[in-house]
């Protein structure tokens, strides 16, 4: 039989790929639900549906259908039902479905929708989050066919916009409870603050919520943990303004709260750690204080839709738990205990982006991705480390295309720091070929490239490019000193790490053509792309995405600008000289590299004026450049933007490098 000819992947294959996330095991350890998402060309958006599997039998059964976003499935305590969120009726609301079949039943009809369902221990109530403006009630219904007239927007606070939500419209996020049998909804928090609900106490009398109740919200960046009495609505602050905490879960015996967080010693560069709150003693202890490892999944990619950080997953003994860590280009599953034991349960060269145990100490289900594997679910026997594949959601597609793998690399920087990264070459590489090299730089800067699938990298290799991506100083995954090293030094040692990585691969890989180098990146990666072309002419082409070019204007226009420049550049408007020194725009006269500028119109994190300034400055100097504006797109364009715009973006990137390399 003739072997099937595989084809190269292309940007448009985004429509053929499925993302599988958020696995949830029931307490019986065998019933599993999870969410599959596809990019829909027809609706130019995303459709998500919930699937079920008995992990012992292995057959996948689709539980929801249609073009809506059905997601966040959560098992009832008795394992007979799931609650989930769906926008099938425009607004996202909570629905309940029986395991034995039948139609889903809507249980909330909140004015502005509902999210984050959490079952009470007795299964009679579901806690959730909803939003309201002052004067609105949770039972209000929207006025149908009412056309809103344009109105002035009054602003009296600095935190008045966010890249995710746009301009603040007066709504606050509250914790609420819905009674499953009657549909009655009760708000359990109030006031002019946002609350996020995390878990119930085992006796069902209390909820754990987080909030920042500081009076001056513009200058407060804490997230406190509160014990909320459901009957009296009384709040007890357990962390008292000491830091930023989240992902809280009760031990089954009700004695402990497990959580992740930090006390902001290095502002947003501080490593997240595991914390234990003992309820009887009222004491908070960091269990990983001496451990130079980051807790949680901080790997970045451009493919998975709706991955969930599982936080602390307790075992039935109320002393043991599991969690995810970010470490040296991979994410791992770790075991922990209230006595401070910590050791790996699964630590391979891969990206674990989902984890569920159902309360078991012996088995789990993990979601795993690798550079040439978009992502699937696996059954993990924790005692032996054995993995058994449960899903193959992209099997049919992967039989048609050829994907490139990533070779890990490591070298010593000129000042003897260990720098880690990867090199990809086209899957169809022929011995003796000389290839152009595209250097990719991640955003953050406190994030981490990982052993994970990246659609953008695959599209670049499919066009015949080698791709180099590294974790320079400032990246997560390599300890506190490493991640903090970029603060106050943007364009310093981080720039040197990237350039020395290029030198390293040129010296060690003969197939790279040193005269055909390209560079690209987004956000901080866009800043660094701009910085690089202003400081060297080694690159024949560059693509800067959602970038920063001017820290002076960034201070006042970004949703995070007024504090981010202080934390990261370590300067504000009282030190214009330092802000300008670290601004790529200051070096625009030096830029000779042809530069493509890509930016979203509704990017409030790195607003489009950053791109406009750079483009006009380059055109004014007769430099080779092109500016592409993406309508309706925010800072998340490459990850969760409109599918057609994501594809256009990828084709602009590959097209620019094809033309210039």
Q: Are 473 and 493 in contact (CB under 8 A)?
A: yes
Q: Are strands 406-412 and 401-402 parallel, antiparallel or unpaired?
A: unpaired
Instruction: Determine phi and psi for 482, rounding to 5 degrees.
Output: -65, -45
C-alpha torsion sign, points 652, 653, 658, 661: positive
Q: 63-66: which pairs have CB atoms within 8 A and are 24 or more residues apart?
A: 63/33, 63/97, 64/97, 64/104
> In 3D, which of 166, 431, 448, 223 has the Cα closest to residue 328?
448
Catalytic option among 71, 351, 635, 660: 635
> In 3D, which of 638, 371, 419, 648 has the Cα closest to residue 521?
638
Name, in order, each residue with C-beta under 8 angstroms of 242's C-beta and a sequence gap of 6 or more. Answer: 222, 263, 284
Q: Which two tokens stand for residue 296?
A: 């949680």
Give the whole-angstrom CA distance, residue 524 versus residue 476: 14
User: Bridge-partner residues for 354, per DSSP?
Assistant: 367
Give the whole-angstrom CA distance, residue 4 versus residue 490: 49
What does the DSSP 8-state code read for residue 406?
Answer: E
Name, in order, each residue with C-beta under 8 angstroms of 463's C-beta and a sequence gap of 6 or more. Answer: 8, 654, 657, 658
Give the whole-angstrom CA distance, residue 441 versus residue 438: 10
What does the DSSP 8-state code read for residue 448?
Answer: B
Establish whether 372 is a catalytic residue: no
Give the whole-angstrom CA distance, residue 243 versus residue 227: 16
Give the whole-angstrom CA distance, residue 104 versus residue 107: 9
Q: Are 110 and 130 in contact (CB under 8 A)?
A: yes
What does the DSSP 8-state code read for residue 431?
Answer: T
**What is the secondary structure of 275-311 as a DSSP string?**
EEEETTTTEEEETTTT---EES--B--SS-SS-----
Residue the block writes with tokens 């209230």? 338
Give the whole-angstrom CA distance, residue 327 versus residue 309: 15
Establish whether 337 is a catalytic residue: no
Distance of CA 566 to the CA centre of its chain: 24
Q: Are 554 and 606 in contact (CB under 8 A)?
A: yes
What does the DSSP 8-state code read for residue 582?
Answer: T
- Within 10 Å of residue 308's Cβ, how many Cβ atoms? 19
User: 343-355 burial, b if ≥16 CB within 10 A, otherwise e?
Assistant: eebbbbebbbbbb
Catalytic option among 131, 201, 523, 638: 523
Give the whole-angstrom CA distance, residue 469 versus residue 447: 13
Catalytic residues: 523, 635
């Amino acid at each position: 039989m003739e072997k099937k000819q595989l084809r190269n992947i292309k940007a448009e294959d985004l429509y053929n790929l499925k993302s599988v996330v958020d696995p949830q095991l029931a307490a019986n350890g065998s019933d599993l639900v999870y969410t599959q998402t596809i990019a829909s060309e027809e609706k130019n958006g995303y459709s998500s549906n919930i699937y079920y599997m008995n992990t012992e039998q292995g057959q996948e059964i689709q539980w929801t259908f249609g073009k809506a976003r059905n997601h966040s499935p959560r098992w009832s305590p008795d394992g007979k039902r799931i609650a989930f969120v769906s926008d099938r009726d425009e607004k996202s609301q909570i629905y309940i479905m029986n395991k034995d079949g039948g139609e889903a039943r809507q249980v909330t009809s909140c004015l502005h929708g509902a999210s984050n369902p959490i079952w009470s221990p007795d299964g009679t109530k579901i806690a959730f989050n909803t939003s309201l403006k002052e004067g609105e009630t949770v039972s209000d219904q929207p006025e149908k066919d009412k056309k809103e007239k344009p109105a002035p927007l009054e602003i009296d606070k600095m935190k008045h916009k966010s890249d995710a939500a746009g301009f603040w419209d007066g709504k606050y996020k509250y914790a609420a409870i819905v009674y499953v049998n009657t549909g009655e909804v009760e708000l359990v928090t109030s006031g002019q603050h946002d609350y996020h609900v995390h878990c119930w106490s085992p006796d069902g009398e209390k909820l754990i919520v987080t909030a920042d109740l500081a009076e001056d919200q513009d200058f407060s960046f804490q997230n406190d943990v509160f014990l909320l009495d459901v009957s009296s609505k009384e709040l007890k602050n357990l962390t008292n303004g000491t830091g930023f905490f989240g992902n809280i879960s009760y031990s089954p015996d009700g004695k402990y709260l497990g959580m992740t967080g930090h006390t902001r010693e290095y502002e947003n560069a501080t490593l997240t750690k595991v914390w234990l709150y003992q309820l009887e003693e009222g004491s908070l202890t960091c269990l990983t204080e001496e451990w130079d490892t980051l807790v949680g999944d901080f790997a970045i990619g451009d493919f998975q839709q709706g991955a969930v950080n599982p936080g602390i997953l307790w075992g039935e003994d109320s002393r043991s738990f599991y969690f995810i860590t970010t470490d040296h280009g991979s994410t791992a599953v770790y075991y922990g205990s209230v006595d401070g034991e910590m050791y790996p349960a699964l630590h391979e060269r891969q990206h674990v982006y989902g984890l569920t145990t159902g309360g078991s100490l012996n088995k789990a289900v993990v979601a795993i991705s690798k550079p040439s594997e978009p992502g699937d679910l696996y059954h993990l026997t924790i005692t032996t480390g054995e993995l058994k594949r449960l899903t193959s959601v992209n099997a049919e597609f992967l039989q048609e295309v050829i994907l490139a793998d990533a070779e890990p690399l490591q070298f010593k920087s000129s000042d003897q720091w260990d720098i880690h990264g990867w090199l990809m070459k086209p899957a169809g590489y022929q011995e003796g070929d000389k290839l152009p090299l595209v250097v990719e730089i991640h955003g953050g800067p406190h994030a981490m490239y990982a052993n994970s699938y990246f659609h953008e990298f695959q599209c670049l290799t499919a066009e015949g490019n080698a791709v180099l991506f590294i974790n320079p100083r400032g990246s997560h995954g390599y300890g506190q000193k490493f991640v903090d090293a970029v603060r106050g030094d943007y364009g310093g040692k981080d720039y040197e790490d990237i350039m020395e990585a290029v030198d390293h691969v040129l010296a060690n890989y003969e197939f790279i053509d040193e005269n055909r180098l390209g560079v690209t990146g987004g956000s901080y990666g866009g800043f660094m792309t701009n910085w690089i072309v202003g400081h060297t002419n080694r690159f024949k082409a560059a693509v800067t995405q959602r970038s920063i070019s001017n820290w002076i204007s960034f201070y006042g226009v970004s949703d995070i600008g007024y504090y981010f420049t202080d934390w990261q550049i370590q300067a504000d408007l009282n030190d214009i000289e330092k802000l300008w020194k670290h601004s790529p725009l200051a070096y625009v006269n030096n830029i000779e590299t042809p530069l493509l500028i890509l930016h979203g119109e509704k990017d409030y994190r790195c607003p489009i004026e950053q791109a406009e300034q750079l483009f006009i400055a380059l055109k004014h100097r007769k430099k080779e450049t092109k500016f592409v504006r993406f309508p309706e797109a925010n800072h998340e364009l490459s990850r969760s933007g409109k599918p057609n715009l994501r594809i256009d973006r990828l084709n602009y990137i590959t097209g620019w490098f094809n033309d210039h390399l």
